[in-house]
Amino acid sequence: MPQPNNENNMSIKVLYFASLKELFGCSEQQINSDNVRTVSDVWQEVSAAYDVPQQVLNSVNQEYAELDTVVKAGDEVAFFPPVTGG
């Protein structure tokens, strides 16, 4: 059975938490996965218009990731400041 070709309309879900959520003015957005290969590419696309402070951590599909971690359509990528729980 042929697989539907979703390549051109698939997106990556991007989440922001804490101070980054306030800076970007939203907690979630979808970006087009075309021309996006790594977490770094996603970060460039979403943060380009902002003066982003300090250290930013990231995760892919709810696991800690690195800037060079490869992402694909359908992934959930999140950016957040250092954690302060406990």
Partner 1 sequence: MVTILETAFNPWQAIQQHQENMQRDGEYGACASFIGTMRDMNEGDQVSTMELEHYPGMTEKHLEKIIDSADQQWQLLDSLVVHRVGKLFPNDPIVLVAVWSAHRKDAFEACRFIMEDLKSKAPFWKKEALISNNDQPQKNRWVSKNTSGY
Position of tokens 């402070």? 53
- For the sheet containing 63-64, what is the strand order? 28-32, 11-16, 76-80, 57-60, 63-64
The only residue of 30, 34, 37, 64 in contact with partner 1, by rule CB under 8 A: 64
Is residue 50 a contact residue for partner 1 (CB under 8 A)? no
Residue 27 three-state SS:
coil
- Binding map of partner 1 across residues 19-48, x = CB under 8 A, - = no contact: x-----------------------------
- Smallest gap from residue 66 Cβ to partner 1 (A): 14
Residue 36 three-state SS:
coil
N-term to C-term CA, the chain: 50
- Smallest gap from residue 75 Cβ to partner 1 (A): 13
Binding site for partner 1 (CB under 8 A): 15, 17-19, 54, 59, 62-64, 78, 80-86
